Each structure stands twice: as C-alpha cells, then as structure tokens.
C-alpha cells in the first residue's frame, strides 16, 4: 500500500519541538518554480541554473542548493 504525500510529510514532522510563549516557528517549502518566457529571455539561457535565497529579521541569509532546469 502506498502512502500519500501528505502522510509522508506528516510522518516527517518533529512533534518534539516545544515553543515558549511568544516564540513562533516559520517554515518555507519551495516545491516548484516556473519561469515565464519573458524571464527566460531576460536570463538569456534556455536551461538556467537557479537557487532561492531568503533572509528573516536578524538571521543569516539562507539559500537552497543550485538546481539545473528539469526540461
């Protein structure tokens, strides 16, 4: 029997995380990125390598691994 993606995700959650009053947990999941034709033209690359970065308040900049186009 195959489990659904949601069941797989739920199984991976760490329920041991305990937050104190006033603390929050913020999670970002990038599942898919689609570039428009205009973006591909601006990049001047038919199969670009991309990554995502984000910064949150006083925390360090975080980046995803570099991924090649999946054409």
- For the chain, the domains span 5-68
pLDDT at 2: 45
Q: Would you state the structure tokens that stand for residue 59, as one six-digit string? A: 């925390």
Q: Residues 17-42: what's their mean pLDDT?
A: 84
pLDDT (tens digit, 9 = 90+) per residue, 39-63? 888 988 878 888 888 888 888 898 8
CA dist 25 → 17, 18, 21, 42, 46 (Å): 9, 10, 12, 36, 37
Q: Residues 2-23: what's their mean pLDDT?
A: 66
pLDDT greater than 70 at residue 27:
yes
Q: Residues 9-24: what's their mean pLDDT?
A: 73
pLDDT greater than 60 at residue 7:
no
User: In sequence order, what DSSP letters do the residues of 16-68 get, joined into one string?
Assistant: T--PPTT--------------HHHHHHHT-SS-EE--EE--TTSPPEEPPPEE
């Amino acid at each position: 029997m195959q489990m659904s993606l949601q069941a797989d995700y739920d199984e991976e959650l760490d329920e041991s995380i305990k937050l104190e009053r006033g603390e929050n947990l913020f999670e970002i999941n990038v599942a898919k990125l689609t570039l428009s034709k205009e973006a591909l033209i601006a990049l001047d690359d038919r199969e670009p390598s991309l990554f995502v970065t984000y910064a949150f308040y006083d925390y360090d900049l975080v980046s995803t691994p570099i991924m090649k186009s999946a054409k």
